[in-house]
Amino acid sequence: MTIPLGELDRATADAAAEAARAMNRWLLDALDHVASVGIVQPGHDIESGRDDLLAQAGAALTRICPISGSAFFLLDPDATDFPLAWCDPADRRDEFVAEIDAQIANGVFAWALQTNHPVLVPAATTGGTSLLHALATRNGPMGLYLGTIADRSPYIPDGCQKLISIVLTSCATNLRSEELRAELKRINKGLEAAIEQRTTELRQARDAAFRAAQVKSEFLANMSHEIRTPMNAVLGTAAMLMDTELAADQRALAETIERSGRDLLAIINDILDFSKLEAGKLRVESIPFELAPTVTAVVDLLTAKAEAKGIRLRAKIADGTPREVLGDPGRLRQVLTNLIDNAIKFTHEGFVMVHVAPEPGPPDVHPVTFTIRDSGIGMTPEQLARIFEKFTQADTSTTRKYGGTGLGLTICRQLTELMGGAISASSEPGNGSAFTVLVPFKAPAEPAAPAEPQVPAPTRLTGRVLLAEDYPANQKIARWMLERLGLEVVIAPDGKEVLAALATDARFDLILMDCQMPEMDGYDATRAVRASEAAWHQIPIIAMTAAALASDRDRCFASGMNDYISKPVQQEELARVLARWLPAA
Amino acid sequence: MPRRPEDLIRGAIEVGTIQSMYERLLQVIDHPLSSASDVGRVIAEDPGLTARLLRLVNSPIYGFPSRIDTVTQAISIVGMSQLRDLAIGTSFMRLFSNVPSHLVDMDSFWRHSIACGLAARQLAAHRREANVERFFVAGLLHDIGRPIIFLKAPLEAASALLEASRSRQPLYTVEQKLLGFHHGAVGAALLERWRLPGMLVEATACHHAPRIATRFPAETAIVHLADVFANALALGSSGEHLIPSFEPTAWDLVEFPPSGLAGLLKQVEVQFVHAVNAIMGQEH
């Protein structure tokens, strides 16, 4: 049979096309296998991640070329050894190790490690072929792949060899990134621990510093308090002394003692306030009060001092200034006293003017400015910039010349800020100074209680007073003051003695109770009295305390006391408070 | 006066028997399913080429632990693409072995080319390139345009040599001035016509200015550095009397540690002797 030439050509062309199609199929198939290599599940540990990668590579290689077994030998950098890390089938492990040992001995292993393509050599331990391929990245070799092939001269086309290289290079790269990822994780963990430790250390240091500052403030507060008690005795004794028959020069000496004592007390009060401010223990009250009488009272108190220096002290309250506001009259008084007193101190001739004026504000807020202007020595801009800093006066020579703690303006500023306001100053050397305090008072919901009328203190009262006071000097002073008012006095040095005195002698009209006493303090003694079933359990008890905070007052009332008088006890104040509870003579 | 590099390569080389071997090698290359024995069969038809390749792969340059006796064995150990590239590179050399020229010493020319090939191969090995032999071939062929200029435009070539020597300029800049192009463009046109891999074409075209390479910048940078090293070592000469100017960006691209430079040059000098013996030695 003869085949036409055209037919033959067509047959050849068909065969070539079929071959090309087969090749295409093979290539696409192989590329599919290769593409699936190197996908690792997140969250695995390094060991299982590594085995995953090796198993994927081994499986891909088995699919693209006639390999019957695969083994990976990974470099152990510590032992400079290549132990078997993974193989398939697992039961041919010994066979793979024997083959690789033989290839190490004949040098092919070393050769393959340095090359980046498949090395095909006759198997050393079987009649087949061994395919060796390095597992390497740019950083160097990480291990070696061994594939066993049954055929002595296998058909592994060029394209297939390139795919083998791609699979193993990508496997090496993935192993390397797994290593780096583990390393990164380890470093991160170390870093977190370091940060945690550093944070703890810093927190401890901060807490320690905070505690130290608090201890310092508490110490200052306690010290000031401790000093006030004997100061009370000094002032009281001076008053007692002046009440006796004295020659003119003796009287002058006693007056000096009294004046110096008062100055010292003012300094201590400054320190006490300041340390309380620092410790964050000072609170401002919000009670309704009348503005004009408060300002006038401060000015009246300091008028004598100004007149003694030949200075005019005047106050002017502008039209429209609210009559009543909600705020802390005590703290306002303190700020104004401080500023006016300062102005008098630094003015040698001329005037000190206090000007009170309303400022515009939102509804329910009554901002008021208090301006204290003087014709004193003034300040340079540099001095002005520093006056509100603590322990600072215009300069150190000022301290020597004018005295003072240098805390006054700092306290003024902090008190003003505590009241929600602001303080500012302007001055020129030789042209006087002006301090302006702005306080945003609230509008009172209900009318203020009228300012306490300054009724003249009574001079004579009747009754029997039990005086609870541990400090002997103060016992003497209080006894002297009470007896001057015509009262009969019995002394108890602590709370227990108070209860003993009441038990043996029930004819007392009032107890004057010091709060801080040894054995049993004033609060406990008061509670014990109120808890008693005796007839005297309702006796009026008046607290005497050096603590000046509203919270201390609350504590007195909470324990059952009826009234309150602050130390150091002043004769007039004592008479005024007692007059509420005892009949006049 | 030639206008374009292509004018120079027209009918440039008498090929004869080598062409048929070369054509068949390319055919094998173009087929992804060709195997070691396919390539081996083609090479084995040229006993001279077979002998050269076996001498080369058995030389200390490769340092394979046991003797390699057949081309098929060589392929399975050195790699198929690798051996194929070596076969093409050394065959090409043979095409030019009888360029009649009083202007250039072809022996010295090929020595320079071998030195450049070895340096390129070392740089590539450091980067763990898959086929380091292709870099060897790239070095071997990078100046291939020069003998063609000598052959086809001898007058211009002579003036260029004189002018370069007189003005102390590199030969390739004078070629550029006199011809409008230099030997890189001529070599690249030739390799392209012979359908050699694009990497060889671009490395040849741009080996004096690797920054303009677009497809194979790192490979071109390696050949550029290798050419500088080979000229500096003065192992043979391609007619260039100055060390070509060196592009620092190429160094950055190749990422070769400066501390390894002395070792690399030493290795090139040692391998040079073996490679020259293997490739240019008499055939038995």
A158 CA: distance to closest CA in chain B (Å): 6
Phi and psi at A354, nearest 5°, equal -110, 125
pLDDT in tens, A23-62: 788 888 888 877 777 666 655 666 777 888 888 889 888 8
Please compute, for residue B42, the number of CA atoms within 13 A of its CA located in the half-sphere on the CB side.
25
pLDDT in tens, B89-134: 888 777 776 666 677 788 888 899 999 999 999 999 888 887 888 9
Mean pLDDT (whole number) for A146-164: 86
pLDDT in tens, A255-307: 888 888 887 887 777 777 777 777 677 778 888 888 998 898 888 888 888 88
- Residue A285 corresponds to which tokens in the numbers above? 């009250």
User: A237 pLDDT exceeds 50?
Assistant: yes
pLDDT averaged over chain A? 84
Mean pLDDT (whole number) for A394-414: 66
Best CA proximity match to B173, nearest among B244, B94, B115, B261: B244
Phi and psi at B142, nearest 5°, equal -65, -30
For residue A390, being part of any structural domain is answered with: yes
Instruction: Give the residue from B35, B83, B256 with the most A CB atoms within 10 Å of its CB, the best one to mutate.
Output: B35
Which run of H or E residues covers position A474?
helix A472-484
**What residues are paired with A439 via a beta bridge?**
A368
From B35, B66, B76, residue closest to A157, measured CB to CB: B35
Sign of CA dihedral A147, A153, A159, A165: positive
User: B24 pLDDT exceeds 80?
Assistant: no
B79 CA: distance to closest CA in chain A (Å): 6
For residue A447, being part of any structural domain is answered with: no
From B32, B129, B131, residue closest to A157, measured CB to CB: B32
Do residue A301 and residue A428 come from a single domain?
A: yes
Mean pLDDT (whole number) for A326-350: 89
B218 CA: distance to closest CA in chain A (Å): 14
pLDDT averaged over chain B? 84
User: B17 pLDDT exceeds 60?
Assistant: no
**What crossing angle do the helices spanning A329-345 and A291-308 adopt, rounded to 10°?**
20
Residue in the block written with tokens 């370091």: A194
User: A63 pLDDT exceeds 90?
Assistant: no
Q: Is B127 on the interface with A (CB under 8 A)?
A: yes
Collapsing DSSP to helix, strand or coil, A442 comes out as: strand
On whether the CB atoms of residues A484 and A325 are closer than 8 A, the answer is: no
A56 CA: distance to closest CA in chain B (Å): 22
Mean pLDDT (whole number) for B159-171: 88
DSSP A444: P
Whether residue A111 and residue B80 make contact (CB cut-off 8 A), yes or no, is: no
Best CA proximity match to B26, nearest among B8, B38, B13, B11: B38
Do residue A402 and residue A308 come from a single domain?
A: yes
B86 CA: distance to closest CA in chain A (Å): 15
A204 CA: distance to closest CA in chain B (Å): 49
Contacts of B37 in chain A (CB under 8 A): 153, 155
Residue type, B47: P
Whether residue A118 and residue B131 make contact (CB cut-off 8 A), yes or no, is: no
- Residue A18 corresponds to which tokens in the numbers above? 């079929």
For residue A413, being part of any structural domain is answered with: yes
Q: Is B177 on the interface with A (CB under 8 A)?
A: no
Calculate ∠ Cα A533-A537-A543, nearest 5°: 145
B68 CA: distance to closest CA in chain A (Å): 11
Do residue A294 and residue A425 come from a single domain?
A: yes
On whether the CB atoms of residues A499 and A534 are closer than 8 A, the answer is: no
Phi and psi at A460, nearest 5°, equal -135, 135
Whether residue B32 and residue A108 make contact (CB cut-off 8 A), yes or no, is: no
Residue A470's CATH number: 3.40.50.2300
Do residue A437 and residue A318 come from a single domain?
A: yes
State residue B284's pLDDT score: 40
Residues 6 or more apart in contact with residue A373 via CB below 8 angstroms: A343, A352, A353, A355, A432, A433, A434
On whether the CB atoms of residues A457 and A576 are closer than 8 A, the answer is: yes
If one compares A139 and A348, the residue with the highest pLDDT of the two is A348
Residues 6 or more apart in contact with residue A216 via CB below 8 angstroms: none
Rounded-to-integer distance, Cα A503 and Cα B35, Å: 123
Collapsing DSSP to helix, strand or coil, A136 comes out as: strand
On whether the CB atoms of residues A338 and A412 are closer than 8 A, the answer is: yes
Do residue A295 and residue A336 come from a single domain?
A: yes
Q: Is B126 on the interface with A (CB under 8 A)?
A: no
For residue A152, being part of any structural domain is answered with: no
For residue A559, being part of any structural domain is answered with: yes
State residue B282's pLDDT score: 56
From B34, B82, B127, residue closest to A157, measured CB to CB: B34
Do residue A424 and residue A516 come from a single domain?
A: no
Mean pLDDT (whole number) for A76-87: 85
Strands (E), A203-362: 287-290, 311-317, 324-327, 350-358
Other Cβ atoms less than 10 A from the Cβ of A334: the count is 19
For residue A293, being part of any structural domain is answered with: yes
State residue A544's pLDDT score: 85
State residue B119's pLDDT score: 95
Whether residue A119 and residue B76 make contact (CB cut-off 8 A), yes or no, is: yes
DSSP B61: T
Do residue A438 and residue A468 come from a single domain?
A: no
Contacts of A106 in chain B (CB under 8 A): 65-66
Collapsing DSSP to helix, strand or coil, A164 comes out as: helix
On whether the CB atoms of residues A352 and A313 are closer than 8 A, the answer is: yes
Do residue A410 and residue A471 come from a single domain?
A: no
User: A325 pLDDT exceeds 70?
Assistant: yes
Please compute, for residue A162, the number of CA atoms within 13 A of its CA located in the half-sphere on the CB side.
16
Strands (E), A31-116: 69-74, 84-88
Collapsing DSSP to helix, strand or coil, A409 comes out as: helix
If one compares B178 and B12, the residue with the highest pLDDT of the two is B178
State residue A444's pLDDT score: 81
From B32, B82, B128, residue closest to A159, measured CB to CB: B32
Rounded-to-integer distance, Cα B110 and Cα B97, Å: 9
Do residue A403 and residue A434 come from a single domain?
A: yes
Contacts of A135 in chain B (CB under 8 A): none
Q: Where does the pLDDT of residue A397 fall: very low under 50, low under 70, confident under 90, or very high at 90 and above?
A: low
From A26, A121, A169, residue closest to B77, measured CB to CB: A121
Phi-psi region of A154 (alpha: psi -120 to 50; beta: other; left: phi over 0): beta
A interface with B, Cβ–Cβ < 8 A, is 23, 26-27, 106-108, 110-111, 114-121, 136-138, 153, 155-162, 165, 169
Mean pLDDT (whole number) for B252-262: 88
Whether residue A110 and residue B65 make contact (CB cut-off 8 A), yes or no, is: yes
User: B40 pLDDT exceeds 90?
Assistant: no
Whether residue B128 and residue A138 make contact (CB cut-off 8 A), yes or no, is: yes
Do residue A328 and residue A394 come from a single domain?
A: yes
Mean pLDDT (whole number) for A533-542: 88
Do residue A419 and residue A553 come from a single domain?
A: no
Query: How much of chain B exceeds pLDDT 90, in percent?
Result: 26
- Residue B15 corresponds to which tokens in the numbers above? 């090929």
Question: CB contacts < 8 Å between A and B, how many?
Answer: 70
Which run of H or E residues covers position A368?
strand A365-374
On whether the CB atoms of residues A39 and A56 are closer than 8 A, the answer is: yes
Whether residue A157 and residue B33 make contact (CB cut-off 8 A), yes or no, is: yes
Contacts of B87 in chain A (CB under 8 A): none
Whether residue B32 and residue A117 make contact (CB cut-off 8 A), yes or no, is: no
Domain limits for position A329: 288-442
- Residue A481 corresponds to which tokens in the numbers above? 């003051």
Contacts of B64 in chain A (CB under 8 A): 107, 111
Q: Is B253 on the interface with A (CB under 8 A)?
A: no
> Minimal Cα distance from A153: which residue of B?
B37
Domain boundary among A442, A477, A500: A442
For residue A381, being part of any structural domain is answered with: yes
State residue A197's pLDDT score: 93
pLDDT in tens, A414-468: 889 989 899 999 988 888 899 999 999 988 876 555 555 555 667 788 889 999 9
Residue in the block written with tokens 């003249």: A456
**What residues are paired with A492 via a beta bridge?**
A468
Rounded-to-integer distance, Cα A543 and Cα A562, Å: 8
Q: Where does the pLDDT of residue B283 fall: very low under 50, low under 70, confident under 90, or very high at 90 and above?
A: very low
State residue A566's pLDDT score: 78
ipTM for the predicted complex comes to 0.77
If one compares B14 and A312, the residue with the highest pLDDT of the two is A312
- Residue B33 corresponds to which tokens in the numbers above? 């399913």
User: A403 pLDDT exceeds 70?
Assistant: no
- Residue A70 corresponds to which tokens in the numbers above? 């695969």
Q: Is B63 on the interface with A (CB under 8 A)?
A: yes
If one compares A133 and A454, the residue with the highest pLDDT of the two is A133
Burial A228-260 (b: 16+ CB within 10 A, else e): bbebbbbbbbbbebeeeeeeeeeeeebeebbee
Residue A379's CATH number: 3.30.565.10
Do residue A432 and residue A495 come from a single domain?
A: no
Question: How many domains does the structure of chain A reveal?
Answer: 2
Q: Is B173 on the interface with A (CB under 8 A)?
A: no
> Minimal Cα distance from B127: which residue of A?
A138
Contacts of B39 in chain A (CB under 8 A): 158
Best CA proximity match to B144, nearest among B195, B190, B98: B190
DSSP H helix total and E strand total for chain A: 16, 17
> Minimal Cα distance from A156: which residue of B?
B35
On whether the CB atoms of residues B8 and B156 are closer than 8 A, the answer is: no
From A108, A121, A158, residue closest to B34, measured CB to CB: A158
Structural domains for chain B: 5-280 (1.10.3210.10)
Whether residue B34 and residue A111 make contact (CB cut-off 8 A), yes or no, is: no
Mean pLDDT (whole number) for B207-225: 93
Q: Where does the pLDDT of residue B62 fall: very low under 50, low under 70, confident under 90, or very high at 90 and above?
A: confident
For residue A483, being part of any structural domain is answered with: yes
State residue B158's pLDDT score: 86
- The lowest-confidence range among A93-107, A495-509, B13-27, B130-144 is B13-27
Query: How much of chain A exceeds pLDDT 90, in percent?
Result: 22
DSSP B244: P
